[in-house]
Amino acid sequence: MLRTLVMLLLAAQTAASAQEAAPTPTLAIAPGETVTVRIADNDAGFVVLSRGQGEASGARAENTIRFSFVGMSGMLMLQVENGYGRAFTYEARMVRGRRAERTSICPVLAHIVTIESWQDAIDRLELSAPHLSDQVAMACR
């Protein structure tokens, strides 16, 4: 009986630690960060899988999006790697101090990497409205 109870407790602990975080409608990313997410079912938000400092390294996983927000040559660049077999669109706001303003973003086609860049000083980007689609016009918005 005690052995069975211990096995059940270990199984419950393993299952709890393996659960993903709940989807979040807005993903904040600061310069110097790399964040890997998956898109929640029905485009319900971002599920953060990992977050760290520095540029991305290694191959991205299938069915994930990896954002790397880095500075280079006086500019800030957001590299977006789409590991999905569908196009990915989202919205973004630049936050500087207490001010936030929308910025244009281009769609990221299936299995493609794009780079967005700004010369502005940005404290963080707030990404929202993730959407996966089979057909996307290649127009930045």
Q: pLDDT tens-digit profile of 47-105? A: 999 999 877 777 778 999 999 999 988 899 999 999 999 999 999 999 999 999 999 99
> Is 123 part of a structural domain of the chain?
yes
> Is 140 part of a structural domain of the chain?
no
Q: How many domains are there within the chain? A: 1
> Is 82 part of a structural domain of the chain?
yes
Determine which of 4-8, 19-23, 46-50, 113-117 has the lowest per-residue pLDDT on average: 4-8
- Asked if residue 111 lies in contact with residue 10, where contact means CB atoms within 8 angstroms, the answer is no
Task: Give the per-residue pLDDT at 17.
Answer: 41
Task: Give the per-residue pLDDT at 19.
Answer: 61
Average pLDDT, the chain: 85
> Is 116 part of a structural domain of the chain?
yes
Residue 60, both tokens: 């991205």
> Is 55 part of a structural domain of the chain?
yes
Q: Tell me which residue range forms the domain holding 121.
A: 21-133
Instruction: List the one residue out of 67, 125, 129 whose CA is nearest residue 96.
Output: 125
> Is 103 part of a structural domain of the chain?
yes
Secondary structure (3-state) at 133: strand
Instruction: List the one residue out of 78, 76, 83 whose CA is nearest residue 109.
Output: 83
Helix (H) or strand (E) holding 48: strand 46-53
> Is 12 part of a structural domain of the chain?
no
**What letter represents residue 13's amino acid?**
Q
> Is 46 part of a structural domain of the chain?
yes
- Asked if residue 130 lies in contact with residue 91, where contact means CB atoms within 8 angstroms, the answer is no
